[in-house]
Amino acid sequence: MNVFVLKDEAAIGKVVGDLFCDKVLQKPNAVLGLATGATPLPTYQRMAKRCKAREVSFKGVTTFNLDEYCDLPVEHPNSYRSFMRAELFDNIDIDLQNTHFLDGNTADEFAQCAAFDALIEEKGGIDLQLLGIGRNGHIGFNEPANAFTDGTFKVELTPSTIAANSIYFTDVPMPRYAMTMGVGSILRAKEIVLVATGSAKAEAVKAMVEGAIDPQCPASALQKHENVAIYLDPAAAALLSR
Ligand code: F6R
């Protein structure tokens, strides 16, 4: 794991946004793994800015989003599909047909999860995966558990995640289930960039970087991957011993 501490989230957004743009400049048909939440917003703003300036085009890019809520209409503003349109896809020149999401309202979750993993493989695998981290150490919606997950699956969200994300749900109750790429699916990405900002993430960051590889901190599985960069602000890095 390579850990970088930058001065604030704006500086991280610039560097990480440029990493994604550079990947696309090197490989115009790159496959990108994307995350939602507050953390990636500066990264997505940087990508949109460079696309608007015609420095990079996402026309040939394919994306896979890590996760999606269950039992929430896709057109609801809190669905991750809506989030990605508002925060990135409507601001770049990507072909929406090449953006892939899990369907949290599917009648056959097992078939859909298998099809999602198979499609990632068919597209050649994820070249660069963006991750945030939950306060409980989750990545995607892989919650603390007794064993690491592998492929995409349906998960019951933990009270910590429900508490953290409930603030976004004002009109409907926060969903209790989600579909998510598993830890194994995430580790199959060729390159991974995880961003964490703010003091609320400091304990999870310490467990991820300096703790044992333990499914109680799902992000600690990233220690097993050969090509992971972690970008932190000083608050998120505060508990690291080196
Ligand atoms: C969302 C996702 C989650 C978030 C995590 C942090 O697609 O993968 O693991 O990255 O919950 O969320 P924020 O960035 O809102 O603190």
The string of DSSP codes covering 107-168 is S-HHHHHHHHHHHHHHTT--SEEEE---TTS-BTTB-S-SS---S-EEEEPPHHHHHHHGGG
Instruction: List the single range of 73-77, 212-216, 224-228, 231-235 with lowest mean pLDDT.
Output: 73-77
Most informative mutation of 34, 100, 126, 138 for ligand 1 (most atoms within 8 A of CB): 138
**Coil vs helix vs strand at 66:** coil
**Residue 214: is it exposed, middle or buried by C-beta count within 10 angstroms (0-12/13-18/19+)?**
middle
What's the pTM value of the predicted model, to 2 decimals?
Answer: 0.96
Instruction: Give the span between the Cα atoms of 67 and 139, in whole angstroms.
Output: 10
- The topology (CATH level 3) of 26-232 is Rossmann fold (3.40.50)
**Residue 3: is it exposed, middle or buried by C-beta count within 10 angstroms (0-12/13-18/19+)?**
middle
**pLDDT tens digit string along 96-133?**
999 999 999 999 999 999 999 999 999 999 999 999 99
Query: Any idea where the domains of the chain sit in the sequence?
Result: 26-232
Tokens matching residue 142: 């892989």
Output the CA 187–ligand 1 centroid distance in Å. Answer: 17
Per-residue DSSP letter, 203: H
For residues 194 and 4, the answer to whether their CB atoms sit within 8 Å is no
pLDDT band at 164 (very low <50, low <70, confident <90, very high): confident
Measured from the Cα of 67, ligand 1's closest atom is 7
Residue 160, pLDDT > 90, answer no
**Residue 113: is it exposed, middle or buried by C-beta count within 10 angstroms (0-12/13-18/19+)?**
buried
**pLDDT tens digit string along 207-222?**
999 999 999 999 999 9
Output the CA 53–ligand 1 centroid distance in Å. Answer: 28
